[in-house]
């Protein structure tokens, strides 16, 4: 029987990454940040001078991308040339192009396979935009974490990220491959007026009730 896979989906700056990390700590599961995977691929392509808009060039580069996806303690990591990528993943160029790269079916197929490999070995809390709809569609534990556009824009600005929330939402929701959408059986959690503790406690209580 496969270990539990907790699917946390939602738009940019909804708080899903912070919430997912806290839930993983609370339950003793491994946190997998899928956004970091897409950002790492985007960052690498840009480093190599590959235009993310050139889909054929992106696809051609995929087999040789020297990124490894592992974990450090209870948190997933992306490693390039022996170092864990961190600030590289939130550079402006990466922010501006990640939605384009993430919309390429071949990129998603590669990374979804990597994401599922984690759950073959252990229980995971995975956050992204298509976890409940594509990566783990059969999971009993699906949550769609969101917040108002104004709240999310403020959170983004506080992180020093200046991309447009509205534009990012539009790109993610309208892409042909695995668009951002709430799974029909996912529990909607609006974090606009909730503290992180409140969100975490609410979701953890629901997970434990389903595990009982």
Residue found by looking up tokens 């104004």 in the block: 150
d(CA 88, CA 52): 16
pLDDT in tens, 86-141: 999 999 999 999 989 999 999 999 999 999 999 999 999 999 989 999 999 999 99
pLDDT in tens, 57-89: 999 999 999 999 999 999 999 999 999 999 999
**Confidence label for 146 from pLDDT (cuts 50, 70 and 90):** very high
3-state SS, residue 6: strand
pTM metric for this prediction: 0.86
Give how far the C-alpha of residue 100 lies from the chain's centroid of Cα atoms, to the nearest Å. Answer: 15
For the chain, domains (ranges, CATH) are: 5-207 (3.40.50.300)
3-state SS, residue 83: strand
Task: Give the burial string for 47-86 (b: 16+ CB within 10 Å, else e).
Answer: eeebebeebeebeebeeebebebeeeebebbbebeeeebe
Residue found by looking up tokens 């534009």 in the block: 167
């Amino acid at each position: 029987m496969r270990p539990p896979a907790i699917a946390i989906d939602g738009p940019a700056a909804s708080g899903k990454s912070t919430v997912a990390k806290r839930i993983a700590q609370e339950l003793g599961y491994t946190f997998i940040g899928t956004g970091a995977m897409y950002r790492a691929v985007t960052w690498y392509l840009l480093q190599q001078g590959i235009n993310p808009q050139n889909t054929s060039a992106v696809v051609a580069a995929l087999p040789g991308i020297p990124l490894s996806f592992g974990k450090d303690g209870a948190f997933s990591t992306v490693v390039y040339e022996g170092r864990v990528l961190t600030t590289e993943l939130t550079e402006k160029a990466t922010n501006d192009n990640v939605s384009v790269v993430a919309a390429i079916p071949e990129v998603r197929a590669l990374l979804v396979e990597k994401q599922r490999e984690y759950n073959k070995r252990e229980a995971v809390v995975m956050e992204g935009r298509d976890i409940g709809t594509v990566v783990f569609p059969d999971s009993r534990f699906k949550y769609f974490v969101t917040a108002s556009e104004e709240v999310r824009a403020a959170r983004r600005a506080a992180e020093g990220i200046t991309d447009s929330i509205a534009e990012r939402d539009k790109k993610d929701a309208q892409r042909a491959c695995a668009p951002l959408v709430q799974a029909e059986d996912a529990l909607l959690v609006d974090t606009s007026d909730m503290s992180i503790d409140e969100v975490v406690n609410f979701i953890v209580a629901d997970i434990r009730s389903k595990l009982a």
